[in-house]
Amino acid sequence: MAPEQDPGGGARRVFRFAPSPNGYLHLGHAYSALLNFRWARACGGRMLLRIEDIDRERSRREFEQALLEDLHWLGVHWDAPPRRQSEHLADYSAALDTLARRGLAYPCFCSRADIARACAGKKDWPRDPDGSLLYPGTCRGLSEAARAARMASGAPFSLRLAMTDTLATIEAPLTYREFHEGDSGAVVTATPEVWGDVLIGRRDVPASYHIACVLDDHVQAVTDVVRGVDLEAATGLHRLLQALLDLRTPDYRHHRLVLDGAGKKLSKSSAAPSLRALRRQGLGAADVLADLSRRMNVPL
Ligand code: GLU
């Protein structure tokens, strides 16, 4: 799965680790950061750090400071100043405007409760890969006048991609290269339709993870996206957004997740010990690397 030396044309490969500063890093983050860093170094590429802090409610500067320290402690370093997404909201907003102007995105005034109510009683209503109910389309058919009136009244709204209309504008199948851990890669066909009319701009911020991620990967000239398999389903949608916004498509390397004793994914909200807690217990970075190598059965 490790990338070959040269992506062609003599260009250097570019990797990025993109944590969200909404909690302390744990072993799962350490694994992802280390794979990015090791592979970048192994192929003479660049390593970048991106702070994904568009979620104003959950992101905190103290977590950002902590993750910078934890990564240094782990021996992960980057080759340019970190890019902080909260400083680029105008760019995400402009991309959303482009999609809206082309009729591919529409304002949605529904709350989660509205959506749950609209789907209630409809047996086996489909869900997206994250487990959320697929949007039932309530606001898709609103007239321009109705939309304008609701916006003028100050009603909060988010922006959704009109999936069926959008896919109709795409001529050839969308593909990308996927390298799972341990395999030599394959061309995969994207299936963005599994997300339905997905949210691409949120009520509180003029962006979403999806739009910010594809724009930043492009701006940062990322050639290799190394992240956990829990984000693999999102990649089909990212591929579609890249096609719509004329952005480059990197190679994707979705890696295994670090699991806890019960076989569950480690998360910031679960009881997974943070890297700083391990450090406080007296562990050194070498101990963490050895533990991860053993758990994941790879040299680190
Ligand atoms: N910010 C995301 C996370 O912390 C990672 C996004 C990505 O690598 O594309 O899970």
Of the residues 24, 36, 209, 258, which should be mutated to test ligand 1's pocket, given the most ligand atoms within 8 Å of the CB? 209
pLDDT at position 5: 56
pLDDT at position 1: 58
pLDDT in tens, 61-80: 999 999 999 999 999 999 99
Please name each of the domains of the chain with its CATH number: 1-86+258-300 (3.40.50.620), 88-220+228-257 (3.40.50.620)
Atom of ligand 1 nearest to the CA of 32: 8
pLDDT in tens, 235-288: 999 999 999 999 999 999 999 999 887 788 887 666 788 999 999 999 999 999
pLDDT at position 3: 67
Pocket of ligand 1 contains residue 52 by CB under 6 Å = yes
pLDDT at position 272: 80
Report the percent of the chain where pLDDT is more than 90: 87
pLDDT at position 4: 62
| Average pLDDT score over the chain | 94
**pLDDT beyond 60 at 6:** no
**pLDDT beyond 80 at 289:** yes
**pLDDT beyond 60 at 151:** yes
Q: How far apart are CA 183 and CA 166, in angstroms?
A: 33
